[in-house]
Amino acid sequence: MAKLIGYLIGVAAGLAALGGYLYGSYLLLVQVLLPFLLGTVLLGVFLGLVLGVASVITSYWTAPRDLSPQEYREGRTMVGAKDPGPDLAWPLYGLAQARRDIERCWTTAATAGERPWKLSSRSFFGGDWQLWWFFWPIPVLVLLMLSVMSLTSVVVSIVLTAVALLVSTVVTVGQVLVAGVLRSVEWGWQRAVRAEASCPYCYYVSRRPAYRCRSCSELHRDVRPGRLGVLSRRCDCGALHPTTVWRAEGHFPAVCQRCGSGLEGGAATVRDVRVSIFGDVSAGKTRFLYAALDALALLAKRSGLPFSHPTEEARREAERALHVIRSGGDTAKTSPGSLPTALTCSIGKGPSRALVHLFDAAGEQYGDGGLHDSLGFLHSSRCLVFVIDPFSVAAVRDRALGANPAAVQAASPAAGDVEFLYTGVVRRIRDSGVKSRDQRLALVVSKADLLAASGIDVPSESDAIADWLTGLGLHNVVLSARQDFAEVRFFAVHSTAGACAEPSRAADEAIRWVLTASGIRLPASVKEVSPA
Instruction: Write out the residues near another protein by the rule CB under 8 A.
Output: 29-30, 34-35, 37-38, 49, 53, 56-57, 60-61, 64, 66, 68, 90, 92-94, 97-98, 101, 156, 159-160, 163-164, 167-168, 171, 234, 236, 238
What DSSP assignment string belongs to 213-239? Answer: -TTT--EE---SSBTTBSSEEEBTTS-
DSSP 8-state assignment for residue 182: H
| Measured torsion, CA atoms of residues 159, 161, 167, 171, in degrees rounded to the nearest 10 | 180
Q: Shortest gap between Cβ of 53 and another protein (angstroms)?
A: 7
- Please count the other Cβ atoms lying within 10 Å of the Cβ belonging to residue 487: 14
Q: Shortest gap between Cβ of 134 and another protein (angstroms)?
A: 21
Question: Closer CB to another protein, residue 35 or residue 402?
Answer: 35
Separation between Cα atoms, residue 183 and residue 371, nearest integer Å = 38
Q: Shortest gap between Cβ of 44 and another protein (angstroms)?
A: 15
Question: Closer CB to another protein, residue 90 or residue 490?
Answer: 90
For residue 375, the SS3 value is coil
Q: Shortest gap between Cβ of 238 and another protein (angstroms)?
A: 4
Q: Shortest gap between Cβ of 210 and another protein (angstroms)?
A: 22
| Beta bridge mates, 229 | 226
Q: Shortest gap between Cβ of 96 and another protein (angstroms)?
A: 10
Question: Closer CB to another protein, residue 23 or residue 187?
Answer: 23
φ, ψ of residue 221 in degrees (nearest 5): -85, -20
Separation between Cα atoms, residue 328 and residue 79, nearest integer Å = 61
CB 152, CB 50: distance < 8 Å: no
Separation between Cα atoms, residue 195 and residue 355, nearest integer Å = 9
Question: Closer CB to another protein, residue 37 or residue 339?
Answer: 37
For residue 248, the SS3 value is helix
Question: Closer CB to another protein, residue 44 or residue 94?
Answer: 94
Q: Shortest gap between Cβ of 93 and another protein (angstroms)?
A: 5
Question: Closer CB to another protein, residue 13 or residue 240?
Answer: 240
| Beta bridge mates, 280 | none
Question: Closer CB to another protein, residue 90 or residue 485?
Answer: 90
Kind of pairing, strands 240-242 and 343-347?
A: unpaired
